[in-house]
Amino acid sequence: MSAEQDTRPEASARPGWGIFWMVVTGIFFVGVTALVKVLGTRMPAPQAAFLRYAMGLVFILPMLGSLWRLRLDRRTWALFGARGVLHTAGVALWFFAMARIPIADVTAMNYLAPIYVTIGAALFLGEHMALRRIMAVGVALIGALIILRPGFREVGPGHLAMLVAAVFFGGSYLMAKVVSGRCSAGVVVAMLSITVSLGLAPLAVAVWVTPRWDELAILLALACLATIGHFTMTLAFRAAPLVVTQPVTFLQLVWAVLLGALVFDEGVDIFVVLGGTVIVAAISFISWREAVLKRRAITPTVSATKV
């Protein structure tokens, strides 16, 4: 889930392709949420998340030789372990929320993770928080309140789980930013798959129910879509800078709203759309400011926080 933004000057040479690949990425990731919705609640969230990651391990088999020869210091292993713990919690909560609240709600609230990253970067990585960035963070949090509307509608366990999941995903991304300076992107992604699979295993065993063949097929398709989505997201990063691709992530909310209304009969909640728009606008502003100040981007694309 951590794909590094290409900061080379030539990365902005093909903005059209960057937009195209980010649109495709959004479609794949909305497909992931749809499959989790189809999976339902019969299978406990930790088990579903574990099976998704365990099946995804097949995609890192070609890297096993390189991983076996790795010689890492204790601090790097500790960073990988800490990221695995954070991401494990985030993934389990995401699966729990996805099965219980509308797809559009999950998609819109997932946009909060980059905001948490911005706050965390200031607190733990020494990133400067200028007044404009602070105001953008405040606007994004207002967007979250528009989505949740506490006091005007019931905020259930699914919404609370998604709020906390976004915090864990934000922490995972910050860990990825630190460890990416020590290892290649391929190693970072592979270690995430391994540590999350190991972290979810005991949680899955504790609540295990015998999966049906159709459930296994859905989870395999989910793993494939997520892997392809990360690949197309990497193509978008190579083709265009973050300030170009970031606003395109709003289309994920459009696809999610349409999918929820047309396929899952969830209706269209205008407040969710409005709140999601406010959050994406705030994230895009922060990304634009990072580009203007010509510093290495801290704020991740929304897609980077998906499972």
Q: What does the DSSP assignment read for 198-246? A: HHHHHHHHHT--PPPHHHHHHHHHHHHHHHHHHHHHHHHHHHS-HHHHG
Q: Taking residues 176-198, what's their average pLDDT?
A: 82
pLDDT score of 304: 60
Residues 215, 205: Cα–Cα separation, whole Å? 17
Domain membership of residue 277 (yes or no) is yes
In the predicted model, is pLDDT for residue 7 greater than 80?
no
Is residue 219's pLDDT more than 70?
Answer: yes
pLDDT band at 235 (very low <50, low <70, confident <90, very high): confident
pLDDT reported for residue 10: 43
Give pLDDT tens digits for 40-93: 889 998 999 999 888 888 878 777 777 777 787 888 889 899 999 999 999 999
Work out the average pLDDT over 277-300.
75
**Do the domain assignments include residue 78?**
yes
pLDDT in tens, 160-169: 999 899 899 8
Q: Are 26 and 251 in contact (CB under 8 A)?
A: yes
Residue of 46 and 190 predicted with greater confidence? 46
pLDDT cut 90: percent of the chain above it: 19
pLDDT(99) > 70: yes
pLDDT band at 170 (very low <50, low <70, confident <90, very high): confident
pLDDT above 90 for 215: yes
| CA 227/CA 243 separation, integer angstroms | 24
Model pLDDT, residue 297: 61
**What is the arithmetic mean of pLDDT over 125-140?**
81
* More confident call, 246 vs 28: 28
Tell me, yes or no, whether 3 lies in a domain. Answer: no
pLDDT (0 to 100) of residue 9: 44
In 3D, which of 74, 46, 54, 41 has the Cα closest to residue 195? 54
Q: Residue 30: its pLDDT value, please?
A: 86
247 assigned to some structural domain: yes
**How far apart are the C-alpha atoms of 198 and 221, rounded to whole Å?**
21
User: Binning pLDDT at 50, 70 and 90, where does residue 207 land?
Assistant: very high
> Residue 4 domain-assigned?
no
> How confident is the model at residue 121, as a pLDDT?
78
- What was the pLDDT predicted at 228? 86
Percent of the chain with pLDDT over 70: 88
Tell me, yes or no, whether 43 lies in a domain.
Answer: yes
**For the chain, what is the mean pLDDT?**
82
Cβ(3)–Cβ(234) under 8 Å? yes
Note down the domain range covering 31.
9-305
Where does the pLDDT of residue 307 fall: very low under 50, low under 70, confident under 90, or very high at 90 and above? low
What are the residue ranges of helices labelled H in the chain?
15-39, 45-56, 64-68, 74-98, 103-110, 112-124, 131-148, 157-179, 185-206, 213-239, 242-245, 250-262, 270-292
Judged against a pLDDT cut of 90, whether residue 6 lies above it is answered with no
pLDDT of residue 151: 67
Report pLDDT for 3: 42
Q: How many domains does the chain have?
A: 1
221-244 mean pLDDT = 79
Which 3 state secondary structure label does DSSP give 36?
A: helix
Return the half-sphere exposure (C-beta side, CA atoms, 13 A cut-off) of residue 221. 16
